[in-house]
């Protein structure tokens, strides 16, 4: 066996016994380092779990550390925000245009059909594919559902108790995290959305659901979505393409179009 094949073992170090955890500044630094190092948002419970049982963090110290970090970030280029999965650092919106230039790939594109499908799932969940098609008045391209599932924005949450037992779709925490939401309650109420579109109003739902709903759910919605040249929708109609300006480094290479050939 070559040295390259030899597994390397790392010893898990215990925190020093003399660490003054009563020092709020130390707890704050630990929380800051943990959230920065994590590959996913961290919950308060997960942050408390960083401290061993014989050296627990003082009660309320994590919450105080989070508040202190949020205040300290007010004038910095990053901010500590809470999303559905926990707390994470992200770029301040006013410096985002400059930071986005680090990534040469163009922003992720989503057709109107994709956003309408996602919006219907977000607002009417749990909902079946057939119900989505009834509201939109067109067949839903299977690639749309597949792409949304692959991006972990939607998932099957059950099956309708009718012949065929169609799958019921709902959104995930990943959907909330992407759109910077803590819960579905933060989605804009339909009554506050003025541009309602024209999605088969004769069907039995209170209001037709607009493609702009998801864009409105994002911060600075006017700057988050741009309407480009029309393209073919999933049923052959001509619709808009919406571009979201919040790509992450690992998302830019897997752009998926829901247009049919």
Which of the given ranges, 197-206, 209-218, 222-231, has the highest pLDDT on average? 209-218
Tell whether 73 and 124 lie within a shared domain: no
From the list 43, 25, 22, the residue with the least C-alpha distance to 34 is 43
Tell whether 50 and 119 lie within a shared domain: no
Overall number of domains in the chain: 2
Region of poorest pLDDT, from 46-60, 62-76, 129-143, 186-200: 186-200
Tell whether 39 and 113 lie within a shared domain: no
Does residue 215 have a pLDDT over 90? no
- CA distance linking residue 209 with residue 193, whole number of Å: 9
Report the chain's C-alpha Rg in angstroms.
22
Stated pTM of the model: 0.58
Count CB atoms within 10 A of the CB of residue 227. 13
Tokens at residue 71, please?
A: 């205040």
- Identify the CATH number of the domain in which residue 41 sits: 1.10.10.10
Tell whether 121 and 223 lie within a shared domain: yes
Tell whether 46 and 123 lie within a shared domain: no
Answer yes or no: is 194 within a domain.
Answer: yes
Tell whether 71 and 134 lie within a shared domain: no
Answer yes or no: is 227 within a domain.
Answer: yes
Q: Quote the domain boundaries for residue 185.
A: 109-244
Tell whether 235 and 115 lie within a shared domain: yes
- CA distance linking residue 151 with residue 164, whole number of Å: 26
Answer yes or no: is 161 within a domain.
Answer: yes
pLDDT in tens, 73-132: 989 999 999 999 999 999 998 998 888 888 766 667 788 889 889 999 999 999 999 999
Answer yes or no: is 192 within a domain.
Answer: yes
Tell whether 129 and 240 lie within a shared domain: yes
- CA distance linking residue 9 with residue 87, whole number of Å: 30
Per-residue CA distances from 225 to 32, 48, 123, 218 (Å): 32, 38, 19, 9
Q: Is 135 left (phi over 0), alpha (psi -120 to 50) or beta?
A: alpha
Report the pLDDT value the prediction gives residue 47, as an integer from 0 to 100. 94
Answer yes or no: is 257 within a domain.
Answer: no
Answer yes or no: is 9 within a domain.
Answer: no
End-to-end CA distance of the chain: 51
């Amino acid at each position: 066996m070559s040295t390259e094949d030899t597994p390397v073992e790392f010893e898990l170090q215990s925190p020093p016994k003399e660490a003054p955890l009563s020092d709020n500044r130390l707890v704050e630094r630990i929380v800051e380092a943990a959230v920065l190092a994590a590959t996913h948002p961290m919950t308060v419970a997960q942050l408390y779990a960083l401290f061993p049982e014989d050296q627990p963090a003082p009660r309320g110290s994590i919450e105080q550390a989070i508040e202190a970090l949020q205040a300290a970030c007010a004038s910095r280029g990053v901010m500590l925000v809470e999303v559905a999965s926990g707390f994470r650092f992200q770029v301040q919106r006013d410096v985002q245009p400059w930071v986005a230039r680090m990534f040469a790939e163009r922003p992720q594109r989503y057709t109107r059909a994709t956003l309408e499908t996602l919006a219907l799932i977000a607002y009417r969940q749990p909902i079946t594919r057939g119900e989505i098609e009834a509201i939109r008045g067109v067949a839903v391209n299977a690639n749309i559902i597949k792409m949304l599932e692959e991006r972990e924005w939607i998932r099957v949450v059950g099956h309708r108790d009718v012949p065929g037992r169609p799958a019921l779709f709902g959104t995930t925490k990943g959907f909330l995290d992407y759109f910077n939401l803590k819960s579905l309650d933060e989605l804009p109420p339909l009554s506050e959305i003025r541009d309602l579109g024209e999605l088969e109003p004769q069907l039995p739902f209170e209001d037709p659901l607009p493609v702009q709903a998801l864009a409105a759910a994002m911060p600075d919605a006017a700057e988050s979505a741009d309407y480009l040249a029309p393209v073919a929708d999933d049923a052959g109609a001509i619709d808009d393409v919406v571009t979201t300006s919040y790509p992450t480094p690992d998302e830019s290479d897997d752009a998926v179009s829901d247009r049919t050939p």
